[in-house]
């Protein structure tokens, strides 16, 4: 599972990340915060047809510039049963953050205790971010992040270093955009695949609510190092019940434990990966998830809705 074992408060904590090897952040950047990541579960559903090849990153000593855009929204509503069933998660209010990114990859240093072996060390710096919301996020220019990982695309650890002069709003917006990016890991199977091959990557996504996520990749085409993948995302709550203690006062749900009654995800998208570059070079992926909670004998429902759209160009 793609699960954070140690999740520090990114806006306040500073943890020395000896597990990762990268250029030392400049004086304008805070000490990196380190997150260790569990290996995701990768399952091949179909090896594909025709000529097959092993898909793995060959991006050591490479550089990459791209624009990354993420739109996200989250809402929790108390609705009657009929309204909850009709509610569309795609209708929640959302904010779009745009980050110009510059990335480079180096050969990983020696193995790190309590981590899987790594071959690649990626280092990414953000340019001036922009947001459609009412917050000025420009002070997060120079935000740095990176990961230590394997040729399959699996990340072993993640590091983040915010500019010292970034406001809390700017820092929080950019951190969230980065976490959305790393929560959609492009991890390849360890076996050879061909056109039409499909596999799933099971991971865990943290945020306003914790969700289990299955990302399904299907090979549309392979042209040298460029691989076009169709992407489907399915999310579901990690817990079967939601504690509503202290909430919904004066209603029949007050202080009750609510069970998951329904969970659904709508998704679409495709991305193009260049195996000589660390991040997708093109593509759009969008998905929205609605989780309905309720209690026996009540017509009221708690609806949690989340919306995510990722764009690479």
Extents of the domains making up the chain: 33-312
Give the model confidence (pLDDT) of 52-68 as tens digits: 999 999 999 999 999 99
d(C-alpha 13, C-alpha 204), whole Å: 22
Over residues 272-278, mean pLDDT: 98
Residue 296: its pLDDT value, please? 82
Residues in CB range of 81: below 8 A, 6 or more apart: 294, 299, 300, 301
Q: Are 103 and 182 in contact (CB under 8 A)?
A: no
Distance CA 193, CA 274 (A): 16
Q: Outline where 88-241 has alpha helix (H).
A: 168-182
For residue 29, what is the DSSP state? Answer: B
Spatial separation of the C-alpha atoms in residues 286 and 302, rounded to whole Å: 24
What digits encode the pLDDT tens for the residues 170-207?
999 999 999 999 998 899 999 999 999 999 999 888 76
Helix, strand or coil, per DSSP, at residue 57: coil
75 strand-pairing partners:
305
If one looks up domain 33-312 in CATH, what number appears? 2.30.230
Average pLDDT over residues 128-157: 93
In which band, very low, low, confident or very high, does the pLDDT at 21 lie, cut at 50, 70 and 90? very low
Cβ-Cβ contacts under 8 Å for 238 (sequence gap 6 or more) = 204, 210, 211, 212
What pTM was estimated for this model as a whole?
0.86
How confident is the model at residue 257, as a pLDDT?
80
User: 247-266 pLDDT, tens per residue?
Assistant: 666 677 776 788 999 999 99
Strand duo 95-107 + 241-243: pairing: unpaired
Does residue 4 register a pLDDT over 90?
Answer: no
17 falls in which pLDDT band (50, 70, 90)? Answer: very low
pLDDT at 3 over 50: no
Confidence of residue 31 (pLDDT cuts 50, 70, 90): confident
């Amino acid at each position: 599972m793609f699960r954070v074992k140690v999740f520090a408060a990114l806006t306040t904590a500073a943890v020395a990340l000896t597990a990762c090897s990268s250029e030392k952040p400049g004086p304008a950047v805070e000490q990196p915060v380190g997150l260790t990541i569990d290996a995701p579960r990768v399952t091949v559903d179909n090896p594909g047809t025709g000529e097959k090849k092993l898909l793995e990153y060959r991006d050591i000593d490479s550089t990459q510039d791209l624009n990354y855009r993420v739109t996200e929204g989250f809402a929790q509503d108390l609705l009657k049963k009929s309204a909850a069933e009709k509610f569309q998660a795609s209708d929640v209010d959302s904010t779009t953050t745009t980050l110009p990114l510059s990335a480079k990859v180096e050969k990983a240093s020696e193995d790190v205790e309590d981590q899987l072996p790594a071959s690649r060390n990626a280092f990414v710096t953000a340019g001036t971010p922009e947001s459609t919301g009412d917050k000025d996020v420009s002070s997060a220019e120079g935000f740095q992040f990176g990961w230590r990982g394997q040729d399959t695309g699996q990340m072993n650890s993640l590091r983040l270093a915010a500019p010292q002069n970034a406001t809390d709003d700017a820092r929080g917006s950019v951190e969230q955009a980065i976490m959305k990016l790393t929560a959609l890991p492009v991890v390849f199977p360890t076996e050879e695949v061909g056109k039409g091959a499909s596999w799933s990557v099971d991971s865990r996504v943290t945020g306003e609510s914790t969700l289990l996520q299955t990302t399904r990749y299907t090979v549309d085409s392979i042209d040298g190092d460029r691989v076009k993948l169709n992407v489907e995302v399915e999310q579901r709550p990690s817990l079967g019940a939601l504690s509503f203690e202290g909430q919904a006062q004066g209603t029949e749900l007050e202080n009750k434990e609510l069970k998951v009654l329904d969970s659904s995800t709508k998704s679409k998208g495709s991305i193009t990966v260049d195996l000589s570059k660390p991040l997708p070079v093109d593509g759009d992926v969008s998905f929205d998830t609605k989780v309905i909670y309720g209690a026996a004998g009540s017509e009221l429902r708690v609806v949690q809705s989340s919306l995510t759209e990722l764009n690479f160009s």
